[in-house]
Structure 1
Amino acid sequence: MGCGCNKNRQQYEVVTADGRIAYTTPSKPAADAVAKRYQGATVREKGKPQTAQTTGDPR
């Protein structure tokens, strides 16, 4: 039976401005530090989809 150490552990991804995932870590401070090295990079929780923002009339 395999280890369940990372089963419920939150992961963070550093996503560059062009949409490439540059780094994945369980540490939010480490992800923030790495994101500072890439211009326009963002930190998001792994596995959560990014929602598109809508503008105008939703019809």
Structure 2
Amino acid sequence: MACSCAKNKTTYKVTNTDGKVVYSSTNKPTADSVARRYPGSTVTEHKPGAKTTPAPTA
């Protein structure tokens, strides 16, 4: 049986300038440090159960 511990945790996603998610974590400081490795990247917060819209494609 799979663990469902992470289903209610907030996820932080690092998105590069191309709109690709390059990293995902439940730890904000880790996501922030990974984002520093990708110039122009952003960290976005995703709450469980929230609907997300896909990133625009070029």
Total equivalences in the alignment: 50
Q: CA RMSD in A?
A: 1.8
Where do 4+ consecutive residues of structure 1 move more than 2 Å? 1-4, 46-50
After TM superposition, the score normalised by the length of structure 1 is 0.72
**Greater relative contact order (Cα < 8 A, sep 6+):** 2
Q: Gapped runs of 5+ residues in structure 2?
A: 54-58
- Computing the radius of gyration over CA atoms, which structure comes out larger, 1 or 2? 1
Q: Which has the higher helix share?
A: 2
> TM-score, structure 2 length as denominator?
0.73
